[in-house]
Amino acid sequence: MFNFFKRFFDYNEKEIIRLKKKVEEINSFEDKCRSLKDKDFHPETKKLR
């Protein structure tokens, strides 16, 4: 039973680490997006997709 919980939490920890990297990547776009004018925002979001 203990092994089940250990595997479950190990997986969750790995997933959290993986997602933190994505969050950091996404947050890195914040300054650039804030500096865009309204008319420039739409074409820039198309590039990100």
Instruction: Give the pLDDT score at 2.
Output: 66
Residue-wise pLDDT for 1-49, tens only, equals 667 767 767 888 889 999 999 999 989 988 888 888 888 877 877 777 7
Overall pTM surpassing 0.85 (yes/no): no
Q: What is the pLDDT of residue 16?
A: 92
Amino acid identity of residue 35, one-letter, is S
- State the sign of the Cα–Cα–Cα–Cα dihedral 25, 27, 28, 32: positive
Structure tokens belonging to residue 30: 């914040």
Q: Residue 46's pLDDT is what?
A: 78
